[in-house]
């Protein structure tokens, strides 16, 4: 019973923190659709791009940490190389024209969600991590596409 409660607690804390990390995505994307809010739109747009790049880098850092702690050398080296891709992708997306940059961010978040789910399926991370990453991928990716849409319309 104690172990079951501990596992529930351990999965709820990361989910609560991750959902709070979604708030800037939602608020800054929503600001792009407020008529006449030019400051929120211009400053919010840059803030959203910065935040998206930071979070993609964070996701790559999670994968770096998993590779360092759990993989044998022959599997760790490729995982370490791939784990820096989200940071580089986020950096490129930041400098891309806004509409295209947000499409790139959407693709990056979707790819990371897929990669993280694959890791969980192989037993490389706890099940709660897979659920957390699925929920966040389904929340963040559409906000990035909405932000891209706000630049096209």
**pLDDT for 131-146, tens place per residue?**
999 999 999 999 999 9
Please identify which residue in the block is written with the tokens 């990716």: 141
Contact 114, 90 (CB under 8 A): no
What pLDDT score does 98 carry?
Answer: 85
In the chain, where are the structural domains located?
A: 2-152
- What is the token pair recorded at 119? 């890791």
> pLDDT above 90 covers what percent of the chain?
67
Alpha-carbon distances of 146 from 25, 75, 122, 150, rounded to whole Å: 10, 37, 32, 6
Task: Indicate if the pLDDT at residue 7 is higher than 70.
Answer: no
Question: What's the predicted TM-score (pTM) here?
Answer: 0.89
What pLDDT score does 1 carry?
Answer: 47
The length of the chain in residues reads: 153
What pLDDT score does 83 carry?
Answer: 93
CA–CA separation, 19 and 139 (whole Å): 9
Q: What is the DSSP letter of 89?
A: H
The model's confidence at residue 104, banded by pLDDT at 50, 70 and 90, is very high
Given CA atoms 126, 128, 131, 132 in this order, what sign does their dihedral have?
A: negative
């Amino acid at each position: 019973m104690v172990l079951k409660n501990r596992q529930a607690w351990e999965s709820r804390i990361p989910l609560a923190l991750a959902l709070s990390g979604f708030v800037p995505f939602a608020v800054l994307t929503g600001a792009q659709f407020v008529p006449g809010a030019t400051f929120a739109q211009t400053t919010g747009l840059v803030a959203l791009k910065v935040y998206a790049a930071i979070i993609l880098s964070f996701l790559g850092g999670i994968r770096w940490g998993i590779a360092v702690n759990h993989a044998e050398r022959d599997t760790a080296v490729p995982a370490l190389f791939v784990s820096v891709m989200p940071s580089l992708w986020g950096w490129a997306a930041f400098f891309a024209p806004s509409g295209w940059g947000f499409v790139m961010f959407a693709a990056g978040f979707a790819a990371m969600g897929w990669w993280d789910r694959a890791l969980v399926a192989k037993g490389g991370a706890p099940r709660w991590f897979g659920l957390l990453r699925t929920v966040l991928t389904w929340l963040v990716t559409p906000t990035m596409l909405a932000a891209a849409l706000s630049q096209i319309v």
